[in-house]
Amino acid sequence: MNAKNNNIIVKNKNAARNYHLTDKFQAGLVLEGWEVKGLRNGKVDVKDSYVTLKNNEAWVIGLKIDPPASLKNDHIDPTRSRKLLLNKREISNILEAISQQGLTCVLTLIYWKENKIKCDIAIGKGKKTYDQREDVKQRDWNREKQRILKNSNR
Protein backbone atom coordinates (compact mmCIF):
# COMPACT_ATOMS: atom_id res chain seq x y z
CA MET A 1 0.00 0.00 0.00
CA ASN A 2 1.40 3.34 -1.05
CA ALA A 3 -0.79 5.53 1.13
CA LYS A 4 -0.07 6.79 4.61
CA ASN A 5 -2.84 6.43 7.18
CA ASN A 6 -3.69 10.15 7.20
CA ASN A 7 -4.19 10.09 3.41
CA ILE A 8 -6.68 7.22 3.41
CA ILE A 9 -10.21 8.27 2.48
CA VAL A 10 -11.89 4.87 2.80
CA LYS A 11 -10.83 1.22 3.10
CA ASN A 12 -12.93 -1.70 1.88
CA LYS A 13 -12.82 -4.06 4.86
CA ASN A 14 -15.19 -6.50 3.17
CA ALA A 15 -12.66 -7.14 0.39
CA ALA A 16 -10.10 -8.71 2.73
CA ARG A 17 -12.83 -10.55 4.61
CA ASN A 18 -14.54 -12.05 1.55
CA TYR A 19 -11.63 -12.63 -0.85
CA HIS A 20 -8.13 -14.09 -0.96
CA LEU A 21 -6.41 -11.03 -2.50
CA THR A 22 -3.40 -11.55 -4.77
CA ASP A 23 -2.32 -9.02 -7.40
CA LYS A 24 -2.73 -5.35 -6.50
CA PHE A 25 -2.85 -2.37 -8.85
CA GLN A 26 -2.90 1.39 -8.30
CA ALA A 27 -5.35 3.32 -10.48
CA GLY A 28 -6.61 6.84 -10.86
CA LEU A 29 -10.32 7.65 -10.73
CA VAL A 30 -12.18 9.86 -13.21
CA LEU A 31 -14.38 12.04 -10.98
CA GLU A 32 -16.57 15.09 -11.23
CA GLY A 33 -16.14 18.10 -8.94
CA TRP A 34 -19.00 17.26 -6.58
CA GLU A 35 -17.58 13.73 -6.16
CA VAL A 36 -14.26 15.13 -4.96
CA LYS A 37 -16.15 17.23 -2.40
CA GLY A 38 -18.06 14.14 -1.27
CA LEU A 39 -14.80 12.18 -0.91
CA ARG A 40 -13.21 15.06 1.00
CA ASN A 41 -16.16 14.96 3.41
CA GLY A 42 -15.79 11.16 3.74
CA LYS A 43 -19.26 10.46 2.35
CA VAL A 44 -18.39 7.32 0.40
CA ASP A 45 -19.44 3.67 0.53
CA VAL A 46 -17.27 0.99 -1.12
CA LYS A 47 -18.91 -2.04 0.46
CA ASP A 48 -20.51 -3.49 -2.69
CA SER A 49 -18.10 -2.11 -5.28
CA TYR A 50 -16.24 -4.19 -7.86
CA VAL A 51 -14.25 -3.60 -11.05
CA THR A 52 -15.36 -4.69 -14.50
CA LEU A 53 -13.78 -4.36 -17.93
CA LYS A 54 -15.65 -3.02 -20.98
CA ASN A 55 -14.03 -2.18 -24.33
CA ASN A 56 -10.50 -2.45 -22.87
CA GLU A 57 -11.37 0.07 -20.15
CA ALA A 58 -11.69 -0.58 -16.42
CA TRP A 59 -14.82 0.67 -14.62
CA VAL A 60 -15.68 0.60 -10.94
CA ILE A 61 -19.31 -0.35 -10.30
CA GLY A 62 -21.24 0.16 -7.06
CA LEU A 63 -19.06 2.91 -5.59
CA LYS A 64 -21.48 5.28 -3.83
CA ILE A 65 -20.38 8.87 -3.26
CA ASP A 66 -22.97 11.06 -1.55
CA PRO A 67 -23.22 14.59 -2.97
CA PRO A 68 -22.70 17.63 -0.72
CA ALA A 69 -25.79 19.20 0.85
CA SER A 70 -25.73 22.11 -1.62
CA LEU A 71 -26.31 19.70 -4.55
CA LYS A 72 -29.00 17.42 -3.06
CA ASN A 73 -31.75 18.79 -5.36
CA ASP A 74 -29.81 18.36 -8.62
CA HIS A 75 -30.23 15.26 -10.74
CA ILE A 76 -27.09 13.45 -9.57
CA ASP A 77 -26.50 9.70 -9.65
CA PRO A 78 -24.33 8.84 -6.59
CA THR A 79 -23.77 5.24 -7.79
CA ARG A 80 -22.76 5.95 -11.38
CA SER A 81 -19.99 3.87 -12.97
CA ARG A 82 -16.60 5.56 -12.78
CA LYS A 83 -13.69 4.97 -15.12
CA LEU A 84 -10.35 3.78 -13.74
CA LEU A 85 -7.11 5.04 -15.23
CA LEU A 86 -4.83 2.06 -15.91
CA ASN A 87 -2.34 1.35 -18.67
CA LYS A 88 -2.95 -1.33 -21.30
CA ARG A 89 -0.56 -3.83 -19.72
CA GLU A 90 -2.36 -3.63 -16.36
CA ILE A 91 -5.76 -3.96 -18.04
CA SER A 92 -4.59 -7.06 -19.94
CA ASN A 93 -3.26 -8.57 -16.68
CA ILE A 94 -6.60 -7.95 -14.98
CA LEU A 95 -8.54 -9.35 -17.96
CA GLU A 96 -6.39 -12.48 -17.96
CA ALA A 97 -6.93 -12.99 -14.22
CA ILE A 98 -10.68 -12.33 -14.33
CA SER A 99 -11.18 -14.77 -17.18
CA GLN A 100 -10.02 -17.56 -14.86
CA GLN A 101 -12.64 -19.44 -12.86
CA GLY A 102 -13.83 -17.73 -9.66
CA LEU A 103 -11.57 -14.66 -9.75
CA THR A 104 -12.84 -11.11 -9.50
CA CYS A 105 -11.40 -7.62 -9.21
CA VAL A 106 -12.42 -5.51 -6.19
CA LEU A 107 -11.73 -2.00 -4.97
CA THR A 108 -9.73 -2.17 -1.73
CA LEU A 109 -8.71 1.40 -0.87
CA ILE A 110 -9.29 5.03 -1.89
CA TYR A 111 -6.70 7.58 -0.81
CA TRP A 112 -5.03 10.91 -1.59
CA LYS A 113 -1.67 10.83 -3.35
CA GLU A 114 -0.28 14.34 -3.56
CA ASN A 115 -3.32 16.27 -4.88
CA LYS A 116 -4.91 13.35 -6.76
CA ILE A 117 -7.36 10.70 -5.66
CA LYS A 118 -6.08 7.19 -6.27
CA CYS A 119 -7.49 3.77 -5.56
CA ASP A 120 -6.00 0.34 -5.05
CA ILE A 121 -7.70 -2.58 -6.74
CA ALA A 122 -6.89 -6.23 -6.24
CA ILE A 123 -7.58 -9.57 -7.89
CA GLY A 124 -9.32 -11.91 -5.48
CA LYS A 125 -10.79 -15.37 -5.22
CA GLY A 126 -13.94 -15.63 -3.13
CA LYS A 127 -13.59 -17.21 0.30
CA LYS A 128 -15.89 -19.91 1.53
CA THR A 129 -17.66 -19.47 4.85
CA TYR A 130 -15.32 -21.87 6.63
CA ASP A 131 -12.30 -19.87 5.37
CA GLN A 132 -13.79 -16.72 6.86
CA ARG A 133 -14.37 -18.45 10.20
CA GLU A 134 -10.79 -19.75 10.14
CA ASP A 135 -9.51 -16.19 9.64
CA VAL A 136 -11.54 -15.02 12.66
CA LYS A 137 -10.14 -17.85 14.79
CA GLN A 138 -6.58 -17.03 13.72
CA ARG A 139 -7.05 -13.31 14.45
CA ASP A 140 -8.52 -14.07 17.89
CA TRP A 141 -5.68 -16.44 18.71
CA ASN A 142 -3.05 -13.87 17.69
CA ARG A 143 -4.76 -11.25 19.87
CA GLU A 144 -4.88 -13.64 22.85
CA LYS A 145 -1.24 -14.61 22.29
CA GLN A 146 -0.22 -10.94 22.42
CA ARG A 147 -2.13 -10.49 25.70
CA ILE A 148 -0.43 -13.53 27.23
CA LEU A 149 3.02 -12.31 26.17
CA LYS A 150 2.31 -8.80 27.41
CA ASN A 151 1.13 -10.05 30.84
CA SER A 152 4.03 -12.50 31.23
CA ASN A 153 6.59 -9.73 30.73
CA ARG A 154 5.26 -7.75 33.69
* Amino acid making up residue 94: I
What does CATH list as the number for 5-126? 2.40.280.10
List the chain pLDDT tens, one digit each, 154 residues: 454 567 889 888 888 888 888 889 999 999 888 888 888 888 888 888 888 999 989 999 988 988 887 776 667 888 888 999 999 999 998 888 888 777 888 999 999 988 899 999 999 888 777 777 888 888 889 998 898 888 888 7
Report the distance separating Cα 124 and Cα 16, nearest Å.
Answer: 9
Cα–Cα separations (whole angstroms), residue 36 to 67, 93, 136, 148? 9, 29, 35, 45
Q: What is the pLDDT of residue 1?
A: 47
pTM: 0.75
